[in-house]
Chain A
Amino acid sequence: MWMGLTLLAVEAVEEGGGLFDLNATLPLMAIQFLILMAVLNAILYKPLGNAIDERDAYVRNAKAGAAERLAKAEKMAEEYEQSLADTRREARSVIENAQAEAQQIAAEKQAAAQQEAAAQREAVQKELDEQKASALGQLEQQVDSLSDQILGKLLGSAV
């Protein structure tokens, strides 16, 4: 089309110009502008406008989702904190119980051991006393016989 216009243009004729020379350029320019508007609408305003709107929607959704997740996370953190505190308290009571129990057991065992030790000591003492007594008895007998013998030897002739 441009070539055709150019060929026509070659036969252009001179005519009175002037700054305010209104002619068929006006309507053709208006039509050309409308065509440009339609073309730009198809390849610029629509696709990029959609892109902008979609991005806005995406950002809005992402923001809403993020806020929701944040609230949920905060709630969960609170719950965890709560359960952590509960667990700590529980653990502390378990430890205290165990310590008390252990102390009790230790005390019992100690007492039993002491009792046993005392009993054993007593038995040993008793045995020792018995042996001492028998040994003393034996010794006394031997002393008696020895003293008899000594007496006999000393006074042997005399007796």
Chain B
Amino acid sequence: MLNTFHFLNSSLLAKLEVGEHYYWKIGGLSLHGQIFITSWVVCALLIGVAFLASRKVERIPSGLQNLMEYALDFIRDLAKDQIGEKEYRPWVPFVGTLFLFIFVSNWAGALVPWKLFEIPHGELVAPTNDINTTVALALLTSLAYFYAGFKKRGLGYFARYIEPTPILLPINILEDFTKPLSLSFRLFGNILADELAVGVLVLLVPLFVPLPLMLLGLFTSAIQALIFATLAAAYIGEAMEGH
């Protein structure tokens, strides 16, 4: 696959592209190729690290196992806080994968010099820099909390739409639309804005000046991953506990 990349002349580095996509056509479907390429890199990284960490599980952890156990502990605590001690376990993979995928995507977008790899059209960016990815994750979150609610409470789940009073029915229904909308746009907007701000600064002053903004970008990227995972867990917990 690497033969489609060419190393770019450094004079062309400072270039800004927004809303340009590298389209792949499969059947009648058009796809954003740059997003898939970077998401495969992210997935490969996650799977590789996970594989190395769990290859030889020991009671006294060391190295990668220690790191990933720390991450897993963090995710478990997050899920436990939002969903509750009794119900959180089946949701750890979902919440955890949300957090890890978004976090690694964001940081990969900020740290990996993607512009060194040239693709025919557009440029390589973090997977979370594309509205398709964030909407996909947000819709999966919606499905997840519907599933959690129905599984836990059956058709009694609908009762929450008229609680605490039936007057709130429209607002409660509206919530089901605003939740994925706000989830996806928050993540997309933050990552895109960060990348654009860094891009513009790099365009103006190529050396040193963008560094503080890049560090801030790393911070917001991590926070966005945490926010997305926490909110997803909170929605799931809310759907299960009822009012």
Question: Which residue numbers of B lie inside 8 Å of A, CB to CB?
Answer: 1, 4, 18-26, 29-33, 35-36, 39-40, 43, 46-47, 50-51, 53-54, 57-59, 61, 65, 68-69, 72-73, 76, 92-94, 96-97, 100-101, 120-122, 127, 130-133, 135-137, 139-140, 192
Contacts and interface: CB of A to CB of B under 8 A. Distances in A.
A8 B25 contact: yes
Nearest to A39: B47
Nearest 6 A-B pairs (CB), nearest first? Answer: A24-B29, A44-B50, A25-B132, A30-B136, A37-B97, A41-B93
A150 to B, nearest CB: 129
A51 interface: yes
A30 B140 contact: yes
Contacts of A48: 53-54, 57, 65, 68-69, 72
Contacts of B136: 25-27, 29-30, 33
Contacts of B101: 33, 36
Contacts, number: 153
A12 interface: yes
Contact of B93 (A5, A10, A45, A47): A45
Nearest to A32: B39
A155 to B, nearest CB: 138
Given A21-B19, A26-B136, A32-B39, A9 B33 contact: yes
Interface in A8-24: 8-15, 17-24
A23 to B, nearest CB: 5
Main secondary structure of the interface of B (DSSP, over half): helix
Number of chain A interface residues as a range: 35 or more
A8 B29 CA distance: 12
B46 A36 contact: yes
Given A27-B136, A52-B73, A43 B50 contact: yes
Given A33-B140, A40-B97, 16 more contacts: A3-B1, A6-B1, A12-B121, A13-B23, A24-B31, A26-B132, A27-B136, A30-B139, A32-B39, A37-B94, A39-B47, A40-B50, A40-B100, A45-B93, A51-B69, A55-B59
B30 A15 contact: yes
B18 A5 contact: no
26 contacts: A2-B40, A13-B25, A14-B23, A15-B23, A17-B19, A17-B122, A19-B19, A22-B135, A23-B29, A23-B31, A24-B29, A24-B30, A25-B133, A28-B31, A34-B140, A39-B50, A40-B96, A43-B47, A44-B50, A44-B54, A45-B72, A45-B92, A48-B69, A51-B58, A51-B59, A55-B59
B73 to A, nearest CB: 7
Interface string A60-79: 00000000000000000000
A14 B127 CA distance: 20
Nearest to B30: A23
A99 B43 CA distance: 91
- Select the residue from B51, B54, B96 with max chain A CB neighbours within 10 A: B54
- Select the residue from A29, A36, A43, A58 with max chain B CB neighbours within 10 A: A29
Contacts of B132: 21-23, 25-26, 29
Given A29-B136, A48-B57, A36 B97 contact: yes
A25 B36 contact: yes
Contacts of B25: 8, 11-13
A14 to B, nearest CB: 7
A99 B61 CA distance: 67
B130 A25 contact: yes
A44 to B, nearest CB: 4
A30 B24 CA distance: 17
